[in-house]
């Protein structure tokens, strides 16, 4: 059975380990916060508002889908014309 001194030393060791982990986590947090600030700045420099990105993305996706549908329709027309030429 550990003595009181051994228990104290073990607790002191655990305390030091936790301090080290806390310092490391605080540093990681600061780095992530800086990365986020840099990302927000980059988004703003690209002419977008970070809070509106979701709606911008949805709008762009809708535009792309519409263009793809137009292209697909156009390809179907060309395909029909090629088939008519091949048959004729």
pTM, full prediction: 0.56
**35 and 65 together in one domain:** no
Query: Among all chains, which residue has been given the structure tokens 């490391």?
Result: 24
Is the predicted pLDDT of residue 35 greater than 90, yes or no? yes
* Residues 10, 23 within the same domain: yes
* The predicted structure's pLDDT at residue 57: 92
Over residues 21-47, the mean pLDDT reads 95
Let me know whether 23 and 60 are in one domain: no
Domain that holds residue 86: 52-88
What six digits make up the tokens of 28? 């990681």
Virtual torsion, Cα 73, 77, 83, 84, nearest 10 deg: 160
The number of distinct structural domains making up the chain is 2
Q: 56 and 28 share a domain? A: no
Cα distances (angstroms) measured from residue 20 to each of 12, 27, 68: 12, 11, 55
Pair (35, 57) in one structural domain: no
How does pLDDT run across 39-82, given as a tens digit for each residue? 999 999 999 998 998 999 999 999 999 999 999 999 998 888 88
Interval 57-67: pLDDT, tens: 999 999 999 99
- Report CA 29 to chain centroid distance, whole Å: 17
């Amino acid at each position: 059975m550990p003595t009181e001194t051994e228990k104290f030393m073990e607790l002191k060791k655990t305390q030091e380990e936790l301090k080290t982990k806390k310092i490391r986590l605080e540093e990681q947090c600061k780095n992530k916060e800086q990365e986020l600030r840099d990302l927000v700045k980059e988004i703003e420099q690209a002419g977008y508002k970070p809070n509106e990105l979701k709606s911008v993305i949805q709008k762009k996706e809708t535009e792309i889908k519409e263009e793809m549908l137009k292209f697909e329709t156009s390809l179907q027309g060309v395909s029909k014309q090629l088939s008519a030429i091949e048959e004729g």
